[in-house]
Amino acid sequence: MAKGHRSQIKRNRNDETRDTRPSAKLSYARISVQKACFVLDAIRGKDVETALGILAYSPRYGASIIEKLLKSAIANAENNNGMNPDNLYIEECYANKGPTMKRIRPRARGTAYRIEKRMSHITIVLNER
């Protein structure tokens, strides 16, 4: 049987399984998952310099959000993990569904249509080559 208090055992187990790759996460981004994935698919697997170039010249709204997030992930890798930014590449990037704001649009004859303003949680995980 394991020695120590239950919280200490859990802490030790979590330390062993913790992901040490540098990452950045943006929660409650005001962009739908589908629109964010168009931009994320373009940069997945690329090195960070190429990805920043793609994002700088992409006309989509999501590109500006994801560019800022990628710069944050690069800074995390450099400052927290001591990695060289020249060797970094995007190992994982994905968008998960967030909450939906529901709004009402008045229509003819006193009826109402629902407008759904979708949000997403965007995550970028980097690694070194």
Instruction: Report the Cα 26 to chain-centroid distance in Å.
Output: 5
75 in any annotated domain: yes
42 in any annotated domain: yes
Most confident of 2-11, 17-26, 96-105: 96-105
86 in any annotated domain: yes
pLDDT computed for residue 17 by the predictor: 82
Contacts of 70 (CB under 8 A, 6+ apart): 24, 43, 48, 51, 52, 55, 90, 124
- The kind and range of the H/E element at 22 are none
74 in any annotated domain: yes
Report the number of distinct structural domains present in the chain. 1
25 in any annotated domain: yes
| Full-model pTM | 0.85
Mean pLDDT of the chain: 93
Can you give the residue range of the structural domain that contains 57? Answer: 20-128
With the C-alpha atoms ordered 129, 16, 79, 51, is the resulting torsion angle positive or negative?
positive
Q: How confident is the model at residue 2 (pLDDT cuts 50, 70, 90)?
A: low
Which tens digits make up the pLDDT trace of 48-77? 999 999 999 999 999 999 999 999 999 999
